[in-house]
Amino acid sequence: MVCDLRAGDADNGINHGILTGAFVLGTIIAVLSLRRKSWGRSQTSRGLLVCLLLIFICFTWDVFYSGGFNLTDIQYTFVRALPEGLVAQAQHSDDRTSTWQYMPSWAATINLLLSDCIVAWRAWILFQHDRLWRCALVVLMVANIGTQLHIACF
């Protein structure tokens, strides 16, 4: 098996693991604090809980994609040798990983949109009586949704 492990790859893996753990811990703390508050049983907090769980699911899918794509790529590029040579191995690897290439953008896009919607909702509550800021918030949120969907599609 041919494998090139550089110091940057090891640092990237360690950083990714630490950030994943921090994200999971933050999500658990947010969900537990949301459920313990007296206002945690209102319909608004249930919507926020659903958004937090969807963000967690999308993040988990993104981590699953990252690991799965790398393992599939390594398996079909370096582990399984084809008699046709290295170019045929690379083409076979591209064919096998093509299904993985459509997955990352949607999980990250849903994650970003839900996070931005939560921030916009909080700003909407802060500016309840200021029509100018609320209109600006709606315009910026619509532009953000359009931009994120455009990035995910193309």
Q: What is the pLDDT of residues 66-121, one digit of tens each?
A: 777 777 777 777 777 777 877 877 787 788 777 777 766 677 788 888 888 888 88
pLDDT of res. 32: 81
Q: Which of 4-13, 108-117, 131-140 has the lowest mean pLDDT?
A: 4-13
pTM score: 0.64
Q: Which of 2, 6, 17 is nearest to 66 (CA)?
A: 17
The CA R_g of the chain, rounded to the nearest whole Å, is 21
Res. 38: pLDDT tops 70: no
Q: Which of 18, 126, 53, 3 is nearest to 134 (CA)?
A: 126
pLDDT of res. 72: 76
Report the C-alpha gap between 69 and 67 in whole angstroms: 6
At 54, list the tokens.
């969807």
pLDDT of res. 126: 87
Across the chain, mean pLDDT equals 77
Are 38 and 59 within 8 A, CB to CB? no
Report the C-alpha gap between 93 and 119 in whole angstroms: 41
What confidence category does residue 16 fall into, taking pLDDT thresholds of 50, 70 and 90?
low
Domain boundaries, the chain: 1-102, 104-154
What Cα–Cα distance (Å) separates residue 123 from each residue in 110, 135, 153? 20, 12, 28
Higher pLDDT, 53 or 42: 53
